[in-house]
Structure 1
């Protein structure tokens, strides 16, 4: 049985280790989000308990709960981007394989981290803007690197003559909407009998790629 961090407080960080405590706070919030799947469960008190610190200690690094969630979301996107880059590298030089690597990696990340994924794409943010330290500008670039990877993969397919895209950036948004819809519906309708090749069907229909 795991120990309750509230009854075993963490050792006090040495001077200059504030960044370590900040990372531990973010990790604690991400862990709670993974376990509960509900961003409303992420409060200053619950995060402090998980991290084994006093709640007031959080204010040295985050002014409010929304700031913690923003950090969790940025960390999740960074993890997604690293995953997608690794998948693309492993796919080799074939443009079609690289595009599918990005799409499949995205869907697999969403399935593996449903709580984080929901928060990454807006369930929490809009109602709380204006009442927190998080602004529209903070949210503007979230997911930008992932979208660029998708656009680059589409552009490579167009350059190879596999698709007829004339605006890979716009087409990447359209493809992402399809992937996001599939990821969401898989999460909320797990009992539905999804065709085993539904992701391939979606990707080929939205991009114009030939099925192979």
Structure 2
């Protein structure tokens, strides 16, 4: 098989994985099912991805790329200040998590991030760097990395609990925006208060 065909099959395997995780969730991402849906033998993925984690990492990387593109689009208007940009970034993050629950789950799997395949951990760091930069613009007196880490953990928790329906039940709200505003106020101080 020539290198173009090999690259094409490799891409098709990842494409199928992206479609599968969107339709059925991260638990559906078996080598056998991806191969079946790609129309290749069940052993074919191993020629391009020697381990299951490598294939899952390639699929998760697509999720990080999509999230980065959505974040860039949300922040395209450079006329607003850091707080407004941080609000937009946070809302984009939550919307991505809720619209893509299977991919979101896959992207933050500890075993994938720790495996080092495809530099997946490094793929996620620019987004955290942007979050840190924006937090620093709002809270220059604080350790921006720590505040950004706490805010990210809060956003991740909102995404998980909202996706499970727990926050709607506990708070009675049906739109996560009020929770987002509360989280931002908790980490950055009330808007207009600085």
Superposition pairs for residues 169-208 of structure 1, below 5 Å? 169-189=145-165, 192=169, 193-194=172-173, 196=175, 197-208=178-189
Q: Does 1:156 align with 2:137?
A: yes
**Residue 64 (structure 1) shift:** 2.2
Q: What TM-score do the two structures reach when normalised by structure 2?
A: 0.84
- Can you give the 5+ residue segments of structure 2 that lack an aligned partner in the other structure? none
**Residue 18 (structure 1) shift:** 2.2
Superposition pairs for residues 80-95 of structure 1, below 5 Å? 80-90=67-77, 92-95=79-82
**Residue 110 (structure 1) shift:** 0.2
**Residue 30 (structure 1) shift:** 1.6
Change beyond 3 A, Cα 1:15–1:93: same
Q: What TM-score do the two structures reach when normalised by structure 1?
A: 0.77
- Which secondary structure state, in structure 1, belongs to the residue aligned with residue 133 of structure 2? helix
CA RMSD of aligned residues (A): 2.6
Are 2:61 and 2:120, in contact at CA under 8 Å, matched by a contact in 1?
Answer: no
- Which secondary structure state, in structure 2, belongs to the residue aligned with residue 60 of structure 1? helix
Are 1:42 and 1:65, in contact at CA under 8 Å, matched by a contact in 2?
Answer: no
Question: By percentage of residues, which structure has more helix?
Answer: 2
1:179-202 Cα deviation digits (max 9, x unpaired)? 000000001126523364111111
Distance, in Å, in 1 between the alignment partners of 2:52 and 2:5 is: 22
- Which secondary structure state, in structure 2, belongs to the residue aligned with residue 93 of structure 1? coil
State which structure, 1 or 2, has the greater radius of gyration over its C-alpha atoms.
Answer: 1
Number of residue equivalences = 187
Distance, in Å, in 2 between the alignment partners of 1:137 and 1:53 is: 23
Change beyond 3 A, Cα 1:181–1:90: same
Distance, in Å, in 1 between the alignment partners of 2:56 and 2:109 is: 11
